[in-house]
Amino acid sequence: MEEDNVLDFTDSEIVSHVKNALTSVLSGDNNSYDQLVGVMHHSKHLAPDEVALLETTLKALAGAVSSIDIIHHDSLLSAIFSMRMWNYGLHVADALTELIVSLAISNGKYLDLCLRMLVSNFTPPPYFLDKLKLPRGLERKDQVLSRVHSAFKKIADYVPLAPLRLLTVVLQGMPTIYHKDRAVVIYMENMLKLESGEIGELVGSTMLMAVVDRLIELDVEIGWDAILQDDFSKGIFEMELEDVDDIEENDEPDVGEFRLSRKSLAGNSIAELLDNLLVLTFEHLESCEREGRLAKVFETLLQSFQITVLTAYKSKFAQFVIFYACALDPENCGKRFATLLVELFVQYSQPQPTRMSAVAYLASYLSRAKFLSPSFICSMLERLVDWCLEYCETHDGDINPNAHRVFYSGCQAILYVLCFRIKAFVNVLCLKLLLMPLEQVLKHKLNPLKVCLPSVVEEFLRQAKAASLFTVSETFIFDGLLESELSRAFGGLERLDAFFPFDPCLLKRSDSFIRPMFVFWSMVKPTYDDADDDDDDDEGSSDDELVEDHQNENEDMMNGIDMDEFDCQLQKMSITPKNTSSHKFGGRYQEQARMPSRIRPSTSPESL
């Protein structure tokens, strides 16, 4: 009979009862108040009547927030703010959300406490993590997080400063890289949800930049010794190849690239976490592209890139976020990124390491991005060649790697890109326009062919010779060296001479996103392989497609130009240094070894 009387109480009567319990504390009567606090502590294995009592009490408290005092009712507030929506059904979760919103907008003293309580619900309790593998667990996650983010919006509508306070709370509450993988991923998922949500205009850019910062933090935790298994006497391109005999028969069916290095990351918890976070970010960028927001988000990524990524010389994987964004919108984002890198490189006001890092990114990007048009790649190379030629015209000294670091980095960038793209440019106007000023650069007293990485120079000269572009001495010996004393000198402590930031991604899940848009060395057909491939006409390659595209793009440009005169000038070109023993990059004279047929990814050395 008593239960029936309780059920007959009106909402206003229940609110009045709760208010009396709250005010009775001021007169020293704590009985009703203690019962109220006790109800808040009910969380597990609740009977139906206990659930109903908790829901009713929470709703009554939402109507009585004006009677709550932060000092006298600290135990009640502590109990409320420690509640987790994950532990309750939907009705209780709704009542709890209503109470938190009411508290936040009633008094500024409660704002941060309420925001922290909501942010604490970004991640589930430890016991719930395994349930996220099941459909019901994922459904529950969506139910909780939708209520959390709805509460943010309601609070922001009434408290204009709430989004700024939320930024601080979210950033302070970010789990460390050593938390459980799924907890970190879910927290970052909520940060990206804030970026794309209703208050994204106010907090979005900061959330996205914080996510990129965390990616970098994880990235640099992965030491090069966890990746490198190569002998550094090998060349950059040779290091991207792998002997098929080293691949076990039970390996997953995948392109035979960099398996050994990928295996070296197996079991690395930091690498696995970074892989999962990169995939989460890639999927977020895809949603931005579908919603037509990618161009705006990309501006934030560019800002983050310049502040965080560009100067993180040990970064191995985080930079693929901006690579993937460019791939989703090549015409706008793709070109914008390359243009930014060129501008950073040619600006004398920028610090030398920044300029060298920018041109290293540019070279790797132009070489690896399958989605860039040949004409655009050529236009970027023209800017680099023009800058290097202008530099030569104003500097008349001899070789000095330390004094001319930026110049040598620009020259190496040009050679590196041509190693990947020269086949696409042969016999088209772009290459003919590039080669004449490039010859003057390479023949200058600063002699970049003696300072740049021997492996890059060697590969470039082999292809140039096979394509009959330059006259190359047979005694220009490299001995297959990756680096030289001169290249190390211009690379500096950061070893920017050996920095190729868009080498193949070794993280398995992330690679599945990048691979369709990526040029692997095994896809490149060097000019010296033409004779071997005469019988392989059935299948096209990426190089063949580039050649056809570039010929179409330049058809109009070639009209009215005397190509015979061009060819006559090109035949006179030679970049061969004087044939002296001082021009060797190392060791005794020996016959140049042919490039191997399978590749493993090149990487920067641990000395970074």
pLDDT tens digits along 299-351: 999 999 999 999 887 788 999 999 999 999 999 999 999 999 999 999 999 99
Residue 495 belongs to some domain of the structure = no
Query: Is 604's pLDDT higher than 50?
Result: no
Which tops the pLDDT comparison, 273 or 532? 273
Q: Exposure pattern of 230-253 as b/e (b: 16+ CB <10 Å)?
A: beeebbbbbbbbbeeeeeeeeeee
Confidence of residue 469 (pLDDT cuts 50, 70, 90): confident
Domain that holds residue 148: 9-159
Is the confidence at residue 215, as pLDDT, over 70?
yes
Question: Tens of pLDDT along 62-93?
Answer: 988 988 989 989 999 999 999 999 999 999 99
Closest to 581 measured CA to CA, from 489, 473, 483, 481: 473
For residues 364 and 240, the model is more confident at 364
- Whether residue 193 is contained in a domain is answered as no
How confident is the model at residue 140, as a pLDDT? 93
Is the four-CA dihedral 258, 261, 263, 267 of positive or negative sign? negative
- What secondary structure, in 3-state letters, does 265-316 show? CCCCHHHHHHHHHHHHHHHHHHHHHHCCCHHHHHHHHHHHHHHHHCCCCCCC
* pLDDT the model gives residue 236: 58
Kindly state the average pLDDT of the residues 384-401: 88
Residues near 56 by Cβ (< 8 Å), separated by ≥ 6? Answer: 14
Residue 563 confidence (pLDDT) above 70: no
Q: Is 389 exposed, middle or buried (0-12, 13-18, 19+ CB in 10 A)?
A: middle
Residue 104 lies in a domain: yes
pLDDT confidence of residue 530: 61
User: Has residue 230 been placed in a domain?
Assistant: no
pLDDT exceeds 70 at position 569: no
Please tell me the pTM assigned to this model.
0.81
Are residues 364 and 417 in contact, defined by beta-carbon separation less than 8 angstroms? no
* Pick from 413, 525, 515, 544: nearest CA to 463: 525
Across the range 380-394, mean pLDDT stands at: 93
- Indicate if the pLDDT at residue 592 is higher than 80: no
The 10s digit of each residue's pLDDT in 443-453 is 888 888 888 88
Under a CB-based contact definition with an 8 Å cutoff, are residues 484 and 470 in contact? no
Helices 74-81 and 31-40: angle between axes, nearest 10 degrees: 10
What pLDDT sits at residue 263?
57
Higher pLDDT, 499 or 572: 499
Over residues 225-251, the pLDDT tens digits come to: 555 544 444 555 655 544 333 333 344
Between residues 573 and 287, the one the model is more confident about? 287
Residue 548, pLDDT above cutoff 60: no
Give the tokens for residue 60. Answer: 């009554």
Helix ranges (DSSP H) in 471-541: 485-491, 508-514
CB 566 within 8 A of CB 206: no
List pLDDT tens digits, range 123-137: 999 888 888 889 999
Residue 129 lies in a domain: yes
Q: What is the pLDDT of residue 481?
A: 52
The rounded mean pLDDT for the chain is 78
Lowest mean pLDDT among 261-275, 297-311, 314-328, 564-578: 564-578
Distance CA(319)–CA(312), nearest Å, equals 10
Mean pLDDT value of segment 170-174: 93
Query: What is the mean predicted confidence (pLDDT) over 350-376?
Result: 94
- Total domains present in the chain: 1
Residue 56 lies in a domain: yes
pLDDT tens, 473-528?
544 444 445 556 766 665 656 566 677 899 999 899 999 999 999 999 888 888 77
Q: Which long-range contacts (CB under 8 A, 24 or more apart) does 160-164 make?
A: 162/104, 162/111, 162/115, 163/199, 163/202, 163/203, 164/202
* Whole-number pLDDT of residue 438: 85
Quote the pLDDT of residue 599.
Answer: 30
119, pLDDT greater than 50: yes
pLDDT tens column, 412-453: 999 999 999 888 776 566 666 777 788 888 888 888 888 888
Is a pLDDT exceeding 90 seen at residue 152? yes
Q: DSSP readout, 91-139?
A: HHHHHHHHHHHHHHHH-GGGHHHHHHHHHHTTS--GGGGGGGGSHHHHH
90 falls within a domain: yes
Least confident of 265-269, 352-356, 372-376: 265-269
Mean pLDDT of 544-558: 48
pLDDT at residue number 261: 53
Given a contact cutoff of 8 angstroms between Cβ atoms, the answer to whether 221 and 215 are in contact is no
For residue 276, the model assigns a pLDDT of 94
Whether 449 is in a domain gets the answer: no
